[in-house]
Amino acid sequence: MKALKIDHLGIAVPSLAEAVKAYEALGFTVESREDVPTEKVRVAFLPVGESRLELLEPTDAGSTIAKFLQKRSGIHHVCVLVEDIETVLAELRARGVSLIDTEPRPGAGGSRVAFVHPRSAGGVLLELKEKG
């Protein structure tokens, strides 16, 4: 897998409005906001150099982020930008890596994403992203 850069760090928050306020007070600025209905989240991206922080607020009690927030808040996932996500997933599958998604799914900003299970990534939920 050719990992191009850390695309973003995903941070689960109960309220996007409050989290944005807190991060703006820290000196960050919101670059974009988006609803991602497939993931049942509302997100805001805050640039940090070439990378971003992704603040994620659940829009549904049944969403993965809502379940995560019942246990804890904070960093939810690390996202690595890759080229040709299908080839990457095929390579990882062939190596016996535990994948949550065997096929890419739609992500924010027209991207395509897939998640690697934390048991194959040192306990970290790893998102792979191909630019839209």
Contact footprint for Zn ion (CB under 5 A): 10, 54, 79, 127
For residues 45 and 129, the answer to whether their CB atoms sit within 8 Å is: no
Report in angstroms how near the CB of residue 9 gets to Zn ion at its nearest.
8
Position with the least CB separation from Zn ion: 10
**Of residues 92 and 111, the one with the C-beta less far from Zn ion:** 111
**Of residues 10 and 58, the one with the C-beta less far from Zn ion:** 10
| CA 69 – CA 36 distance, rounded (Å) | 18
For residues 19 and 54, the answer to whether their CB atoms sit within 8 Å is: no
Report in angstroms how near the CB of residue 79 gets to Zn ion at its nearest.
5
What is the torsional sign of CA 132, 73, 22, 121?
negative
Report in angstroms how near the CB of residue 7 gets to Zn ion at its nearest.
8
Find where tokens 């982020």 sit: 65
